A and B are shown apart, each in its own frame.
Chain A
Amino acid sequence: MASFRRFRPDDLDKFSKCNLDPLTETYDLSFYLQYFAKWPSLFQVAEDPNGNIIGYIMGKLESSPDYFQYSEHYLPWHAHITALTVAPEARRLGIGKILTENLEVAAEAGDAWFVDLFVRKSNTRAINFYESMGYSVYRVVKDYYGDNVNDPTAHGEDAYDMRKPMSRDKTLKHIREDGRNHDVQPEDVF
């Protein structure tokens, strides 16, 4: 059982079910408050009946800075999913999907062209999850992650930059069918 609503700073005191999971990073207060201060509608939580936060999604609405505008990698106004996590005990109930959908609604309201995110190339479960929700790979960011979970001796791991078009992108000009064949370097990514 869960309620879905916007994040409130006091929720940080109820984050333990999500953040004690070793794969979920706990950031400094300023990191969470930055999202809450600037894009409150893109920071959503799932709360169980006891007030514990059992999932949350953080996102932002932005475009590349002006000095990037002549670059082929320039990103127009879009929403970006920064973090999505669901507490281990609340997985497989579709909470991640609802949180993502809620963020997409906020992205639509914010007139975004698309929603994007980065995911490890090896994280097939997450990739399948996003694909089932209409996301597709737009490009591959080489060595994006500093570490390589599958091979510690190798360079960083590649990331997939995945996107889902919003209704503003009627001609799907910001989506690629063959995104897996487009490699970019980390410095090309905003």
Chain B
Amino acid sequence: MKPPLIPPTPRHINLKPTGPVSLLTAFAEEQWTNSANLAKQRYRTTKDPYYLAVEIAARSQSDNVADRNAGKVAVESMIKDNVTVTDADTLDLYEFACARTDIKYSETIGVLRARLVKAVPKDQKSCTRCFDACVWNSDWKNAQQLCDECPEASKKIFGALAKAQADKAFDLRAATPGNDQPVDRPIGSESEAWLWLNIRISSCSPKENLELFRKPEFSPLAFLKAGQQEPYWIALSYLQTYHAWEDIFQIGKEIFEEATRIAQKEASAIEEDEKVISLRKLAETEGKENSSVKKDLTRAIAKARPPRSLKDQSYISASCEYGLFIAIFGAAKAQPDKKRQVRQLVDKLIKALTRAESMRPIFQRTHDILSLSILIARGSPADPKSDGYTTRVANLTNHVVQHYNESRCVNEALTFISELTKSEVIAFVTSLCATTVKCDDILQRFMLTSLTLRIRYAMAMGAVCLLRLAGIGTESPPMGTNSLYYANIQLFLQAVIWLDSCLVMSPSVSNTHRLLLVKLYLLMGCVSRARTLWDRFDVKNALLDSLGLLFIDRISSIAPGLFISGPSRDNPVQPFLVHFTRGLMTTIPKKIMEALEMGTYSSIQEMIRHAEKQTSSCTLVMAVVEERRGLRMKAGKIEVPIEDLPLVRNLIPGHVIRDNTDYGIFAVPDSESVQSLPSLVHYGPLPTGGRAHAGLIAERFLDLVCYVQPKEYKPSKAGQIAQLDWKYASATSSHLEEEMRGLLALGDKGLLDQEKVNAAKLRDSVRGNYTMPEYWYYGIIWRLANAVRSILGHGFLSTSTNETREFDRFLIKGIINNLEDQTQDFLEVPENIHSKIYAFHGFAALHAMGMLRESILAVKYTTNYLTSISEKLKNTDKARANTELAWLAPELKKMNAAAAESENKIKARIKLLKDYLSNVDGWRDRLCDWVFGDYTTAYDKDPEFKQEVASKMKAVIPKANGELWADKVGESWRELMNGWAAVRFD
């Protein structure tokens, strides 16, 4: 299920200038209480409903729940009583009044807007304002009503009506203009045709659409002839989706033949041009190096080329498109008898384009690559026992040698290499080396040598290879913190120093290289070093959604210092929140209105789609959760609840949240048999919608237990109000418990045996989305919610029994056990950590410390909450409190004691690591020793290999560079621990 779009920023309100100056001033200065009082007085004297709306709008800005909902209540009653507001200013005020509440615009304010337009259709200014307001609030139903003033009944057939209207307009394309009678407006622009196609595709069956696209006037070619490239592509892609191969073949055939004809015609004109003839002769005699002749010739050819009509240009462009190639090759694959014909058509076209000097490098390259892929796919792979020199290898070698001076060459080669067998890969590299040696041209020899090295480097994946050898990602860490748990730390550090040295020596390394280093530094807790490298990418604004999580995921639990020092607006996730808030609440509604004004309807649809994508983005949710965790590290509790954050307040677990990260930035080809590079180097499992939801549920639970009633709130019927509060808290915690249980696939009570097996399988797969510390944390939140629900139900809202008390004790025991186990996991040092490098584990396990701290806080907040409501019960019903709550206080004490115990462990760890960094002599030597020293033991796998790698690293990386690196790492850890030292636990 898609989450609802985030409501837009409330539109700015200006009061009518005819009102009293005091009111205008108070409203403009946002003195809401004063404004409400002044408006109330004005309404009393004038009886003008406008001032009643002003009063409600001002009251609605209050934090008092009743006042805040005043607008919503007023609007709902107007809908119910069939009231029509005929003043657009008044409606604007009601819209403003409802902006902070969850209302369905299309069923409330939108309806009032539609009523206004029907009541005063001649008041064009008001009508336009109402239309704009509906568009701003994505109320397309009422916006359409306002446009067409269609009757109520037609709302139901809105979709069909839109389609019929669009069809009618499309049919009118050919209608002769100049008729005196007013006719409906035909579809004319490309944008309108695009919109029409989208309506057709979404509202008609494939059979109907395919039949339509087969008619000459609706064929993709009809769009192409009209120069409407996008509709042509939409229709062609549709045919491809539904495997209409014969249609695609016919369309492709016509495009290739027509493009060949156009190119041949152009070629003849060029070849007959006298200036071209003489310049070509001159070029032949003077040699191709003469650039001025070359330039003159290019100009003369351009001049001699007959001007292309829109249709000709469209055909030539379409004929060179990769998309058409793929489509027609697909058609030929499905219809083997057409293969030969396709080949002939393409060859003919290439010949004609080359003759007309219209051949484009990208088209030539597309053709070469597709031909090569066919050759490689057709060729038989090498026999495992053979030397690997197959035709496929020969073809690939020829391709690389031919294109050695082009930047894409390495990537293309790597794509094909992934299809070769191991012996073929060896043969390919050997054959490339042999060709290089034979080269006479020094530049070519140099380039080919470089290419061979780059290909070898990429195949071995350099540092990635070391990482894999280090064992990262080979096993999922059962109780660890990140993929370093089972890794060989020395090989890991060697990979890091190697990548870092390359970066120092050649700062213009690839983005993949730099990103890899960022991720590795995050894994080992060198966050400031990672941030320095990350900042060079300058990931900001429109790139935040697609790349941001590569840095900020889990950052608050690793480096709370990023949130603690400096003002809150400087924390690393603030730009994300600004980006999403501005983009979704202002930019998109604004741009949709601009597109409507410009008549670019296709843009509107795409922008709405993009808004939907952003609304359900993991980046958005993670940014909110990370910020709240980070701020809690700094200030303890958070004042603003999730319910007050429009970006996430409407998200529920049923809504699908997606990871929009662009992993294409890791431009290293992965083998299917191993864990992908992005997940290998990410701090724990990659982002998922489930994890995002779990984060939000935990925040909602913390909001519940942290809520403190304002001191000035002193209700007259305190006991009754307290009961209502507890009912609300019980229902909320019950709801949160249920949601978290669902997300973590916990609990199998009442299930049959087979169902229990399935549930366990599901639980294991769900567990794979979390780090172990996260899983502990969300588990504790689930247990806490369950306990709050049960304790409220059995002590506060109804009388408890021995049984219920026993059950609640059992729940509390579960919480304490969970916390103790989490603490134990945090303290455990993995077996792979050599005694000399225990400290490294401490820096790499900071995420576990961060999540443990979150668990401690959750336990503390819950006990505080239960203690405070126990006090309330004592104040309102002492007798009952004495009998009901005597058992609870000692249990809460136990919970607090467990939290304090875990807190001490964290504090001790922080102190230990800080002391380690500041007290140990010869820090630099120690770190270098970790990297270059011999730490192999008799039980190691491949000790010789490890010794060889260490000695080679020592030989390759200058000592000074190694020491400098060690200094940077130490400094980064020091900075990190300073941040941790400032973390609050209350």
Contacts and interface: CB of A to CB of B under 8 A. Distances in A.
Contacts of A102: 317
Contact of B595 (A4, A5, A26, A37): A37
A115 to B, nearest CB: 15
A36 interface: yes
Give the dominant DSSP class at A's interface. helix
B665 A49 contact: no
Nearest to B369: A1
B233 interface: yes
B298 interface: yes
B408 interface: yes
Given A14-B546, A29-B541, A36 B603 contact: yes
B323 to A, nearest CB: 5
Contacts of B600: 37-40
B579 interface: yes
Contact of B365 (A12, A40, A93): A93
Contacts of A34: 591, 594
A94 interface: yes
Interface centre among A92, A95, A97 (most CB of B within 10 A): A92
Contacts of A122: none
A121 interface: no
Contact of B662 (A13, A28, A33, A89): A13
B408 to A, nearest CB: 6
A32 B542 contact: yes
B307 interface: yes
Interface centre among A6, A29, A41, A91 (most CB of B within 10 A): A29
Contacts of A1: 322, 362, 365-366, 369-370
A52 interface: yes
Interface residues on A, range: 35 or more
Contacts of B313: 105
B407 A33 contact: no
B603 A41 contact: no
B349 to A, nearest CB: 16
A19 interface: yes
B662 A98 contact: no
Interface string B834-857: 000000000000000000000000
A50 interface: yes
Nearest to A104: B313
B411 interface: yes
Interface stretch (B604-612, B676-684, B858-866): B604-612
Interface in A1-33: 1-6, 8-10, 12-17, 19-20, 22, 26-33
A186 interface: no
A3 B190 CA distance: 19
Interface residues on B, range: 35 or more
B49 to A, nearest CB: 37
Interface string B63-82: 00000000000000000000
B298 A91 contact: no
Contacts of A33: 587-588, 591, 607
Contact of A109 (B310, B323, B579, B662): B310
Interface string A62-83: 0000000000000000000000
Nearest to B410: A89
A12 to B, nearest CB: 5
Given A1-B365, A16-B664, A17-B664, A27 B547 contact: no
Contacts, number: 158
Nearest to A128: B295
A15 B594 CA distance: 24
B543 A16 contact: yes
A27 B541 contact: yes
Interface centre among B540, B541, B583, B592 (most CB of A within 10 A): B541
A31 B191 CA distance: 21
A117 interface: no
B302 interface: yes
B476 interface: no
Given A14-B546, A16-B547, A40 B360 contact: no
Interface in B580-631: 582-583, 586-588, 590-592, 594-595, 598, 600, 602-603, 606-607, 609-610, 613
B660 interface: yes
Contact of B362 (A20, A93, A105): A93
A50 B411 CA distance: 12
B607 A9 contact: yes
A37 B579 CA distance: 19
Report, nearest first, the 10 A-B pairs whose CB atoms are least far apart.
A9-B610, A13-B546, A37-B595, A33-B591, A30-B587, A37-B591, A29-B583, A94-B361, A37-B594, A93-B362
Given A10-B613, A26-B542, A94-B360, 6 more contacts: A13-B545, A16-B665, A22-B538, A52-B662, A92-B407, A93-B362
Interface of A: 1-6, 8-10, 12-17, 19-20, 22, 26-34, 36-41, 49-52, 88-95, 97-98, 102, 105, 108-109, 132, 134, 167
